[in-house]
Each structure stands twice: as C-alpha cells, then as structure tokens.
Amino acid sequence: MENCNRCTAIGDGFFSFTRSEILIKLILLFPITTLFQYHIGILNKALFFLVLVALFSVSVVRRRPFVYTACITLLWLFSVAVSPLAAIQANFNMTFYYIFLVLYLVYVLTDQEKIWALLKKIRRYIFYVILIYTAVVTVSIFLPSSYSQMGGWGEEAYFSSISGSPNRVGPASVFVVVLITFLIQTGSHKAIALLTIPQFYVFLMGGSRTYFVVGICAAVVLYYVMVPQKKWFFFSLIPLGLVGIIVVLNSSMMDKFAATFQEGLSQQEFWRRLTNTRSIFWVEQLKMFFATPWYKQLLGNGINFTTYNYGLWAHSDFIEILCSYGYVGLANYILLMIYTIRNLTKTRRRHFFIKCVCIFIWFFNAFFNFFYCYFCAMLCYPILLLIIKHLDMPNKSPAEQQRN
C-alpha cells in the first residue's frame, strides 16, 4: 500500500493525496451533485468527466488487464464509429456509460482491498457526504416544489426533493444507505442508522417502483449488518415486514400499486402498467435489432440505437446493451457482473441469503431500469458487495472498539 501511494501521490505532507483517493472522493460526491443536477445541469457532467479522467489515470498507472481492456475499448470504439452523430447527440453521456462501467469494475476488482482500506481511512469524509445529502433531502420534504404528479398514475404527488425527478433522488438515496451500512460495518455507532429515515421517505414517496424495491433491499442489507446474531435477523423479518406493509399502504407508492392491480384491466393493459409500457417497446426494439446485419448484431448498432430509431431508451441494461454493443457487448456485461459479484462477496461463511439479496438488487435494477446508466446506483454497488465480503473480518481497531 505504501509503495502504491508513493508512486501515485500528488503533493507532499498534509496535502498529499493518491490518485485513488481523489477518485474515490469524487465518486462519493455523486449523491450530492445529483440532487443539484436539475438546477445546475453542468454539475454532474463535470463530475462525471473528472471521475472518468481520474479512473483512466489510475488504470494507466496501475496497468490494468491490458488485453481485456483493449478489446472492450475496441468494441466501444466500433459502437461509437457506427453511431450517427444525431444519435450520439440524443444523450452524449450515454456514449461513455458502458466503457466507464468496465473500467470502474476492473479497477475495483484489481484494487479491492486497497479501496476498502481507503474507504476506512476517509470515514469522516463519508459521514459528511451523508450528512449534507440527508440535510438537503430533509429540508426539501417540507417544500411544495419537491412534489409533482406523474401522468397516468393517479392524483398522488410524488417526492423528488430538489433533484427534479424521483429517478435521480431514488438511486442517490440508495447510495447513501450503502454508505451508512459501510460506516456501521466499520465501527460507527448504530445510531447513525437514523439517517436512513429521510431515505425511506424517498423510497416510499418518490413514486419510482424500481428504487422502492432496490432501496428496501439495500435497507435489508443494512439491517443484516446491524444484527450480530443472524438467527434474530431472520426471526424479526416477519414482524418488520408486517409493519412495512402498513407503511406502504399509507404512502404514495400505494397509488402506483393500486393503478397497476386495478380490477377490470385486460391482460395486455396489466403488463403495460406493471412494466410501465416497457413490455410494449421491448418487443419493438428487439424486432429492430434482429432486422440489422449479422455483424451489427454481433458487435452492436451504435450508441443510443433504441432512442434514435424508436424514440425511447430500452430502460433495461440487457436490451439496451444488446442493441448498442451486440452479442459480444451483452455477453461481456453479464460475465463481468457475475465475476464481480462472485469475487467481491467471497466470505468465510456463506451468508447465502444476503448474497441473494445483493444479486437481486443488480438484476432487478438492470432488468426493469438502467443499472449502468444511473450512476449513483452503479457506483455504490461494488461498495455494497465489499461490505458483504468483510462481514466476517475484523474491521475495528482496538481504539475503535474501546470508543464504541
């Protein structure tokens, strides 16, 4: 670790930072910048490209697996090359999401223990990120401008804080729940879990069914970490589940569930509402994909193929990546995610249940939404897996154990 720090350090003494530390600290700012993205549009874009440059810098210095990274980069360049300019302009950020995901996961897989040690080193920084984000969300709960209606989903007003969209604040709150879980796992007082209360408000009142499910699953992981005797964790799930059902029945989320399971709906209309019309445009987008030449099916049709040709993104990693990067790109994505989950959740004990929860978090988000495009959800996922990996490892120093 010291040798690595010497070769990548910037500055001297108190103001000395490693490239990895700069990268991780930038990544941890995303929940805050996402909140302000609606009002300061350049904020997230600037942070995204700073992180991309920092990630590339770390990758070059540490010499990541060259052949694999080079092959995926060539696939990405092919996708960019075959994309019409108008397609890229439809959402310029989409050009970089796939290659970013690959570089980020390779970085985490390669330096996972160093990243874990670095996260422990900057725990105070993490706490301040949580505190600032939670404070802004809490204040915004009382602002009428934080609520808006969604067409076709009843009369209920849905909460988006100051972010302008439940699909922004939802993944940001998931990120914060993961960070709170990390702090508790590494020795912070369990009272810090109270900071999840505003995050639950986001999940319940935000109107995003995807991040309601993902957020509750992240909270289950938090609870699992907090309960030392795992048998009591399982015994308490039933009463907690009943309380949760009562809370959901009195939340904005219930309005969406009621619209989905309304009596008298045709089977087609039921599936349309359940998938928020995805079941309709997935079929059409796949038809377009299979109508393309074989080499484009193999290597991809280019960035934003779905929205450029159909007017909507697939809102599913599997279909979006298939259309944009072909069979090769989709196979790489699935295999990389499987390898990441297996590698980052190796533990002395099985922890089978909570590993399944983590797998479900990725798969559900990837299938019904965008995992690799919603940055907060994607960036915090390896941290969540590392928490599972370190469940059976001592994470507190003797001094921390005395304080707590």
Q: Which of 29-38, 173-182, 251-260, 286-295 has the lowest mean pLDDT?
A: 251-260
pLDDT at 162: 92
Please provide the DSSP assignment of 361-383 as one string: HHHHHHHHS-TTTSHHHHHHHHH
Amino acid letter, residue 156: E
Confidence of residue 15 (pLDDT cuts 50, 70, 90): very low
- pTM, whole model, 2 decimals? 0.87
135-144, 154-163, 275-284, 388-397 — which one is most confidently predicted on average?
135-144
* Three-class HEC string of 66-91: HHHHHHHHHHHHHHHHCCCHHHHHHC
Half-sphere exposure of 188 (CA within 13 A, CB side): 21
Per-residue DSSP letters for 146-161? GEEE-TTS-S-EEE-T
Residues contacting residue 394 through CB under 8 Å, at least 6 positions apart:
none
Q: Within its chain, how far is the Cα of 92 from the centroid?
A: 20
CA dihedral 219, 220, 224, 230 (to 10 degrees): 160
Rounded Cα gap, residues 213 and 2, in angstroms: 41
Could you tell me the two tokens for 152? Answer: 């076709």
Q: Helices 230-249 & 253-260, crossing angle to 10 degrees?
A: 80
Provide the sign of the torsion angle of the four alpha carbons 103, 106, 111, 113, taken in this order.
Answer: positive
pLDDT value at 3 more than 70: no
Question: What are the tens digits of pLDDT across the range 30-61?
Answer: 999 999 988 887 888 899 988 988 887 776 66
Indicate if the alpha-carbon torsion angle 77, 51, 315, 179 is positive or negative: positive
Contact 181, 120 (CB under 8 A): no
Average model confidence (pLDDT) for the chain?
83
How confident is the model over 76-108, as pLDDT tens digits?
889 888 888 878 877 888 889 999 999 999 999
pLDDT tens-digit readout, 318-342 = 999 999 999 999 999 999 999 999 9
Rounded CA-CA distance 177/226 in Å is: 13
Q: What pLDDT is attached to residue 1?
A: 40
| 190: helix, strand or coil | helix
CA-nearest of 77, 79, 68 to 299 is: 79
**Residue 179 — pLDDT band, cuts 50, 70, 90?**
very high
Are 333 and 112 contacting, i.e. CB atoms less than 8 angstroms apart? no
134-137, long-range: CB < 8 A, 24+ apart:
134/176, 134/195, 134/198, 134/199, 136/32, 136/35, 136/161, 136/162, 137/35, 137/161, 137/169, 137/173, 137/198, 137/199, 137/201, 137/202
Lowest mean pLDDT among 19-33, 54-68, 124-138, 169-183: 54-68
From 62-71, 118-127, 230-239, 263-272, the region with the lowest mean pLDDT: 263-272
Amino acid letter at 180? I
The predicted-structure confidence for 333-377, as pLDDT tens digits, reads as follows 999 999 999 999 887 677 889 999 999 999 999 998 889 988 899
pLDDT of residue 194: 96
Residue with tokens 């795992």: 230
Largest CA distance in the chain: 70
The C-alpha atoms of residue 179 and residue 129 are separated, in whole angstroms, by 9
CA 253 to CA 256: how far, in whole Å?
A: 5
Instruction: Supply 184's token pair.
Output: 């508790």
CA–CA separation, 101 and 30 (whole Å): 15
DSSP string, 32-63: HHHHTTTTSHHHHHHHHHHHHHHHHHHHHHHT
**Which residue ranges make up each domain of the chain?**
2-403
Instruction: Please give the average per-residue pLDDT across 244-266, as a whole number.
Output: 62
Q: What's the full length of the chain, in residues?
A: 404
